[in-house]
Amino acid sequence: MNHLISHSAPRFTFRLFAVMAFAALLVLFSGGYTEANTINDYPSGDRSGWFVDMNRFAQSAHAALTCDDCHGTMMEGGRRHPDRTRPDFLKRSATRAYDYSRCGKCHQLAYERYQSGGHAEAMAAEQKAAGAGNGETRTAPTCGDCHVSHYDRSGLPRVDVGRRMIQTCGRCHPAHTHSYLDNNHGRLGVDLGDAKSAFCTDCHGAHTVNSLKNDHNALAACRRCHQKAEAEFANIVIHASLESAPTTETEKKRSLVWIERVRWISIAVVAISLAFFFGHSFLWLLREIHEKLRKH
Ligand code: HEC
Ligand code: HEC
Ligand code: HEC
Ligand code: HEC
Ligand code: HEC
Ligand code: HEC
């Protein structure tokens, strides 16, 4: 008897432990998987790390390159890094410290387009505002905010590239990303995975960053796919948020204002109904209490 107990108890504990360990692993891996594929790949500030996963690097578009092709010598300003005398060096955001003109050696077209686009312009304005040498207040993106140089692959399916933009562009343009997802193109492309639909860069360009507030530019973007589109086509609202409304008085702006008014009216109706409902229930409760007290 004694013999039996002493064996079965540890076995039971062991099984329980195994199940728990398995469950923990599942949780870890499911968490790890999504993290590895999302925003944490972009090294910046606290998330920076000096670990390079060579398995993923070997599968990336840049697998054939050497570290030196992008990093040059491991010297900066005459000092070898990591520099023990400057611990802050390690804490700097790598995306901000990196000199992206190096990418232009091999990706001349992308680099030139980026330089001529709205993001580079916004970056220049921010740097000017922050004063020379203080790049840390930046919010406009460089290559490294949208591309993970060590791990990005080439030749991904169009829909995968399009879905990634929801995270990449969505970090800084959340309102436009939400309104895009509510729109025909977002539903068709992101939800249903139809490669024919339009993703952010089909209309705005990845590096030129075209502003489409101007109807003429918008129509040109639409005509890439809706070849027979007439001038009125550009009046169609893609992002139903006042943030992207044209500055001049146009038909599109009027529709946006109406969309906004209807939204506020519906919010008001819901709020008033809720207030009435809870107010009514509260009064009813008071009445019940009153009745109960009266009976006693
Ligand atoms: C295609 C260009 C490219 C290649 C090849 C490359 N790197 Fe990088 N690396 C970058 C860029 C760009 C950054 C700055 C962070 C960012 O924007 O991705 C960086 C950042 C780093 C960092 C700092 C990361 C951090 O978060 O602080 C380390 C360490 C590093 N690289 C090591 C390597 C090593 C080791 C190799 C070779 C196996 C290598 N890199 C190959 C482009 C490259
Ligand atoms: C020494 C040349 C070289 C440098 C420097 C370089 N790349 Fe590349 N890059 C390549 C090659 C080669 C490919 C693979 C092209 C292919 O597979 O068609 C590539 C592919 C890419 C892709 C994937 C393109 C696709 O097909 O989707 C991106 C994104 C990219 N590079 C970004 C960068 C960034 C950002 C930098 C700077 C940090 C950089 N590259 C620096 C040579 C380079
Ligand atoms: C605002 C985000 C963003 C920035 C900043 C950005 N890219 Fe891209 N890039 C993209 C997206 C999204 C794609 C893929 C979709 C497409 O091509 O329409 C892409 C595609 C690419 C490609 C492959 C296709 C092509 O056009 O050759 C290369 C190479 C590339 N980028 C390099 C760069 C370099 C180098 C920089 C910095 C000078 C840079 N990118 C800056 C978002 C960005
Ligand atoms: C790191 C933040 C950041 C990321 C990532 C980013 N943007 Fe931007 N974007 C900005 C800033 C800052 C501006 C300039 C100020 C503004 O108009 O909000 C801007 C401006 C724009 C404009 C207007 C350009 C103009 O000339 O007025 C468009 C269109 C745009 N971004 C599209 C995109 C798309 C598409 C992506 C993804 C491929 C993207 N952005 C990713 C920060 C970002
Ligand atoms: C079908 C084409 C189309 C797609 C796809 C699209 N947009 Fe737009 N976007 C426009 C048009 C047109 C405007 C001008 C205002 C409007 O009509 O709402 C605009 C306006 C903007 C603006 C305001 C700045 C400006 O001057 O244009 C930003 C930022 C922006 N879009 C970001 C995005 C992001 C991020 C995505 C993807 C999540 C996206 N857009 C997808 C067509 C598009
Ligand atoms: C990359 C291709 C592409 C671009 C660029 C594009 N669209 Fe579309 N759009 C589609 C596809 C695909 C559909 C769904 C199939 C269809 O009905 O034509 C669609 C559907 C629509 C619809 C739904 C009504 C309908 O015809 O079924 C509207 C409205 C629309 N697009 C407006 C625009 C506007 C406005 C622009 C420019 C700002 C634009 N699109 C740019 C691909 C695109």
pLDDT per position as a tens digit, 117-173: 999 999 888 888 776 555 455 689 999 999 999 999 999 999 999 999 999 999 999
User: How far is the C-alpha of 134 from the C-alpha of 129, rounded, in Å?
Assistant: 9
The C-alpha angle with vertex 145 and arms to 169 and 32, in degrees rounded to 5, equals 85
Higher local confidence (pLDDT), 193 or 32: 193
Residues with CB under 6 A from ligand 6: 184-185, 188, 196-198, 202-203, 218, 221-222, 224-226, 233, 236, 238
Q: Relative to the alpha carbon of 221, which ligand is closest?
A: 6
Instruction: Identify the residue whose C-alpha is closest to ligand 4 atom 11.
Output: 140
Report whether residue 236 contacts ligand 4, using a CB cutoff of 6 Å.
no
Q: Where are the alpha helices (DSSP H) in 117-199?
A: 118-130, 143-146, 158-168, 174-182, 184-186
Tokens of 223: 């005509």
Domain assignment present for 267: yes
H or E segment and range at residue 75: strand 75-76
- Please name the residue whose Cα sits nearest to atom 11 of ligand 2: 62
Ligand 5, atom 13, residue with closest C-alpha: 212
For ligand 2, the distance from its centroid to the CA atom of residue 69, given in whole angstroms, is 11
In a domain, 254, yes or no: yes
Is 255 among the domain residues?
yes
State the Cα–Cα distance between residues 259 and 126, nearest whole angstrom.
33
Domain that holds residue 266: 1-30+245-296
pLDDT tens by residue, 208-262: 999 998 888 999 999 999 998 888 888 888 898 777 666 677 777 788 888 888 9
Whether residue 181 lies inside any domain: the answer is no
CB 185 within 8 Å of CB 240? no
Pick the atom of ligand 3 nearest to 164's CA.
12
Q: Is 67 domain-assigned?
A: no
Q: Which of 207, 219, 162, 205 is nearest to 185 (CA)?
A: 162
Listed residue (103, 105, 145, 90) closest to 122, CA to CA:
145
Q: How far apart are CA 178 and CA 192, in angstroms?
A: 16
Cα 235 to Cα 77, 214, 222: the distances in Å are: 53, 10, 11
Q: Is 209 in the pocket of ligand 5 (CB under 6 A)?
A: no
Per-residue pLDDT reduced to its tens digit, 58-78:
999 999 999 889 987 666 667
* Separation of CA 171 and ligand 1 centre (Å): 22
Provide the pLDDT confidence category of residue 6 given band limits of 50, 70 and 90. very low
Q: How high is the pLDDT of residue 234? A: 81
Query: Would residue 264 count as lying in a domain?
Result: yes
Q: Per the domain annotation, does 22 fall within a domain?
A: yes
Q: Kindly report which listed range (17-31, 113-127, 278-292) carries the lowest average pLDDT score.
A: 17-31
Q: What is the pLDDT of residue 24?
A: 53
d(CA 152, CA 141): 17
- Omega cis (within 30) before 246: no
Let me know if residue 206 belongs to a domain. no
Query: How many domains, in total, are found in the chain?
Result: 1
Separation CA 48–CA 54 (nearest Å): 17
CA 239 – ligand 5 centroid, Å: 6
Is the predicted pLDDT of residue 274 greater than 80, yes or no?
yes
Which of 34-38, 122-126, 233-237, 283-287 is most confident?
283-287
- Amino acid (1-letter code) at residue 102: R
